[in-house]
Structures are given as structure tokens and as C-alpha cells.
Amino acid sequence: MSKELTDKLRGKKNIRERWKKGLSTCKEYRNVVSACRDATRKAKALSEFNLAKEVKDNKKRFSRSMSTVKGRLGKMWDLY
């Protein structure tokens, strides 16, 4: 994840806390949530696009990257 996306997510967390305390409006919170959702969607699409591009170029690299993901997830990989 990029620094910009993590900053947006952190801002979402902060504004949610402020909204729950009554320091900001629900409309502000909804605007931040939709912006974070949009940014996350774009980042995920870009990541998948780059991965698909790598698969076309080098299939061995894709297998290696998937094995590292599988190793990091461990038992959770079976759920996917």
C-alpha cells in the first residue's frame, strides 16, 4: 500500500472517532469513507493489473510470488 492510502485510512479512523464523540458531522464522515473506499478500490485494481502484466511476462516469477503469499497466509490460504 502506498503512503497516501495509509494516510487516508488513518484519517478515516480519526474522523470516525471524532464523529462518535460528536465533534464532526455524519456527512463529513461519509465523505471520508467514500474517498477511502474509492482509493482502496483503485489501489487494488492497479495491483491486480500489475500482477497480470507480470504473469504474461514471466510465469515463473508469478509462481514464486504466489508461493510467498501462500507461505505468509499459512492455513488461511486453504479458505481462498
Q: What is the pLDDT of residues 7-19, one digit of tens each?
A: 888 889 999 999 9
Residue 71 scores a pLDDT above 80: no
Confidence of residue 21 (pLDDT cuts 50, 70, 90): very high
pLDDT tens by residue, 41-62? 888 888 888 877 777 777 666 6
pLDDT at 40 over 60: yes
Q: Is the pLDDT of residue 80 over 60?
A: no
Q: Are the C-beta atoms of 13 and 6 separated by less than 8 Å?
A: no
Residue 17 lies in domain: 3-79
Q: Are 15 and 24 in contact (CB under 8 A)?
A: yes
Alpha-carbon gap, residue 52 to 63, rounded angstroms: 12
pLDDT of residue 4: 81
